[in-house]
Structure 1
Amino acid sequence: MSRILLFNKPYGVICQFSRDGMHPTLADYIAVPEVYPAGRLDTDSEGLLLLTDDGKLQHRITDPRHKLPKTYLVQAEGVPDEAALLKLRQGVQLKDGMTLPAEVRLISEPVDLWPRTPPVRFRKEIPTSWLELTIREGRNRQVRRMTAAVGFPTLRLIRWRIGDWSLEGLPPGKWRSLPTA
């Protein structure tokens, strides 16, 4: 029977078990043998990371051909107008090519969101906004590059959902195991 772990990766943690001497790693939070991350989440991003001991499942989660939706909560610098949201919905030209269309909407600041350590830099003159953004590919730093390309850089990025798996009710630095078939 295979295992799936849902982990709420805190800011500053690297997505590997081996130590690099500079950052906390998965080994600082998860003492479960033979599970490996299904995908990556940048050190400066937070949120849902799936780990499994099932190589086929790991492949299905990470392979772009399966186009598994990944939903992010994005704190952006500025307030995107409808034209910027439309660009994200149609796909954005990046240096490595056009992205697939994203699902995106402006949302209120999530009420149950944990504080980030260190906090996002506050600037009184520049407002921020929150987006819920879903993509179906996983290029390097894709969400950050997409929001920057439409003029609203990402300040805080939290992966909230991968497919049917969600971060709901899982505090930062904690994990839970799911039953699998």
Structure 2
Amino acid sequence: MAKLVLFNKPYGVLCQFTDPQGRPTLSQYLKQKNIYAAGRLDMDSEGLLLLTDDGALAQRITNPRHKLPKTYWVQVEGTPDNGALDQLRRGVELNDGPTRPAKVEPLSPPELWPRSNPVRERKNIPTSWLSITITEGRNRQVRRMTAAVGLPTLRLVRSAIGQWALGALKPGEYSETQIHLPQPSPRRGGRKR
């Protein structure tokens, strides 16, 4: 059995347990021993972070080969047109290569907690919300994708990873569960021809 912790990472918190610079870390919220983040969220991103004590489970969550979907609620500056949405859906070219196609839908503003550092909004520029689901996890990928189509990200909240969702967890709250991992099937001898 593997331990899995679902944590709502607040804005401004690092996805690690120590920081030599004294910035806020997971240790201020989680007291469990021997658990590690399965994936990351930037300091300025919020929402679902999974932590586990099992390396095999962490690998299944984070390895792009498994194509585990990750869904984000993204507040962007501007109003997306069909062209920008279609670009995101097809995949966009980033400096480290093209992204896989994403599932992208307009989203009514979700009911979220106030952020400790309020989002900057300009009176004469509207903002919009999108639900974006990706199956890879490059550094700051969603932010780079929206910027590539002219929609800078203002706020980013991860709402789900695979079958696990943020649910009613408030920032800094977590829930813990046990996961039964199926054993890998034994390999048969001999080579394929």
TM-score, normalised via structure 2 length: 0.92
The equivalent of 1:106 in structure 2 is 106
Cα shift at 1:88: 0.3
1:153 and 2:135 are equivalent in the alignment: no
The equivalent of 2:175 in structure 1 is 176
1:1-181 alignment runs, 5 A limit:
1-110=1-110, 112-181=111-180
Cα shift at 1:114: 0.7
Larger radius of gyration: 2
Q: Deviations over 1:41-92 (max 9, x none)?
A: 0000000000000100001100010110000000000010000000000000
Contact 2:45 2:155 in 1 (8 A): yes
Residue identity in the other structure for 2:52: T
Rounded to whole Å, the distance in 1 between the matches of 2:52 and 2:16 is 13
Give 4+ residue runs of structure 1 displaced > 2 Å after superposition. Answer: 19-22
Rounded to whole Å, the distance in 1 between the matches of 2:22 and 2:117 is 16
Rounded to whole Å, the distance in 2 between the matches of 1:51 and 1:121 is 31
Q: CA RMSD in A?
A: 0.7
Cα shift at 1:179: 2.6
Rounded to whole Å, the distance in 1 between the matches of 2:97 and 2:40 is 21
SS in 1 for 2:113: coil
Query: In the comparison of the two structures, how many residue pairs are matched?
Result: 180
| Structure 1: runs of 5+ lacking an equivalent | none
The equivalent of 2:191 in structure 1 is none
SS in 2 for 1:3: strand
* Sequence identity (%): 63
SS in 1 for 2:2: coil
| Structure 2: runs of 5+ lacking an equivalent | 181-193
Rounded to whole Å, the distance in 2 between the matches of 1:94 and 1:32 is 38
Single out whichever of 112-121 and 129-138 deviates more from structure 2.
Answer: 112-121
Contact 2:47 2:157 in 1 (8 A): yes
Contact 2:4 2:176 in 1 (8 A): yes
Contact 2:2 2:57 in 1 (8 A): no
Contact 2:94 2:144 in 1 (8 A): yes
Contact 2:77 2:127 in 1 (8 A): yes
